[in-house]
A = this chain, B = another copy of it.
Amino acid sequence: MNIGQAADASGVSAKMIRYYEQIGLIRPPSRTGSNYRVYGSDEVHILRFIRRARTLGFSIEETGALLALWQDKTRASAEVRDIASEHISALETKIAELESMVGTLKHLVHCCHGDNRPDCPILDDLAGTTAKSKGH
């Protein structure tokens, strides 16, 4: 299987497959006489694993750790759960930050009359000319 076919089969772009190889996330595959990379179903399986982990928001580093655990027959599932739990916490922190931004912005938009008057509470807030626009 060539890299393009492996890309189609795994959902990981050829570009990224080469990149994952370059950074050591996956092992260099064997090559044909004309230097083409050759992949088998094992490699495709690994690439699918990586894609799924990335889709769930794991960083490449975390993905590498999960991959190592996946391939380690003696691993304890507790390790995996720890990685996942920490990742959940990080995601929830990020969500809370975004929700805080949205809350502030919604408040500002709500206060904005949105017509042709040049007066604008949103800009006033950004400029810091209003006294505590939150908590009115």
Q: How many residues of A contact B (CB 8 A)?
A: 52
Identify the interface centre among A66, A75, A77, A94: most chain B CB within 10 Å of its CB.
A77
Whether A78 lies near B114 (C-beta < 8 A) is: yes
By beta carbon, the residue of chain B nearest A123 is B70
* Dominant secondary structure of chain A at its interface with chain B: helix
Interface flag for A1 (CB, 8 Å): no
CB distance from A131 to the nearest CB of B (A): 14
What is the copy number of this chain in the assembly?
A: 2
Whether B52 lies near A101 (C-beta < 8 A) is: no
Whether A122 lies near B81 (C-beta < 8 A) is: yes
Q: Which of A17-25, A27-35, A85-93 binds B?
A: A85-93
A126-B87 contact in complex given A73-B118, A77-B112, C-beta closer than 8 Å: no
Whether B123 lies near A80 (C-beta < 8 A) is: yes
| Residues from chain B with Cβ under 8 Å of A69 in the complex | 120, 123
CA distance A19 to B114 in the complex (A): 33
Whether A80 lies near B120 (C-beta < 8 A) is: yes
- Spell out A's residues near B (CB within 8 Å): 45, 48-49, 52-53, 55-57, 66, 69-70, 73-78, 80-81, 84-85, 87-88, 91-92, 94-95, 98-99, 101-102, 104-106, 108-109, 112-123, 125-128
